Structure 1
């Protein structure tokens, strides 16, 4: 089976979690995944992409289109209407495409024209219910916990350094970096630890893994989320989490220790940071995430959706 993944990208490569999902599908069932990337935003960018998609499909026939994010999905369904192909289309909505009002209307239009919709969080069901399945993205769970000491030595972090990772970049307002910076400032003024606060920006996947194992806490305080990958990745790397109840964070943390869901108040966050800074604990019970959010497990669920949409079985590789 040949499947075309459509997604936005400014780097020339798919988002890491999209690429990892494709690799997991290829390993699980021998599916051949191709990527079509939307490189420009706006009407002009998507119009250009529509014609590019048409020519791509003429040169590279596929059995199914799987679009990631609502705008990419809208491109796929409108391309089908314009150029009259009959390929089945599945769209995965990742959160921002539903949570942002400016994108929501386009996502909802795409959902009405798609053959099936995948929602990474059950909270999206208030917007999309028809022909839909709740299925979060998986994450790489095949990671050894061996990097903490060498990574801390590499970055020059000593025994008194308390390293906090922000759950995203500082330039994304939806992640509320201003609140996070205020929390860390208040904590820094009260503790004897040498506090370092880093944004997750510009790192490779391998570097993020090492950073998460070397750091002492992950801080999330987003205004909206879907099923945040960064929380799953932190747990896989045994990094304690402090987050507000946003998106599927509470569901992901579930029975995981040292994964704290707190009210979005300065006092609540600072209190947990003080607690973690006393003993530098690591997450011990990673099993709920390792079993429920592994790329392998999610790819098997995704294959069953492909089968239902195409009305034919997909052979799974042994």
Structure 2
């Protein structure tokens, strides 16, 4: 009879299967055969006396018990890894796996450069860089930290405010040529708008300094949930748009987009980073958070929080 497997090994295999959605893919990642990974899942289900996954010809799906276990398993594995790192004699090198979820536009431009520089400095870290603008279920996704523009709707996480994003009301040169450059927000109120959900609706508060404000209510010609599509529509003259300053810096410099109301800004958006609470953070996560804090301060159009 084979020796019973270590409980942490069984949990690690279960988490890997849940992450990949495939026993075969999990087995490849763990250096196991597919039958071995399948037996480990079956042994864990036997020990816990419950079904953790439903299998069919197309995919694996977690049962309710599996969903509950996944969060606990991640916490146990993270705690064990942190304990090992903390007490391993002579541990100097930053190493291990690191999974980060970041917003799409910012994550595929400036933030990925911060991540790449971090990995260059720490080549023993295996980094997974996942881009997602939607809210995530942290435990199920299995990430180490989540960078999000806007509020983080999860009270179980530690949330750190990193910076604020400056936003301007911009328009294309053809649209300005057609309608003229407004001198005041009131004169801009009739111009068509391309709105970005969930940040803009039909009411757009504008601020000038600390005392002046105006709520713009332009007609919405187009809505989108993607900032790249928003910029393309604005460039084509579909309408005016509220855009992050960092995202349109080049277009403003080239003149393909113009700041429609110089001195006026839409309310800034906060950039947060969220992670699980714990007495001991893995060294690689602490180092990445430090690199993120430093790197984000160098992005034009983004103000670091003091």
Provide TM-score, normalisation by structure 2.
0.31
Higher relative contact order structure (alpha carbons within 8 Å, sequence separation ≥ 6)? 2
More strand by share: 2
More helix by share: 1
Bigger radius of gyration:
2
Provide TM-score, normalisation by structure 1.
0.30
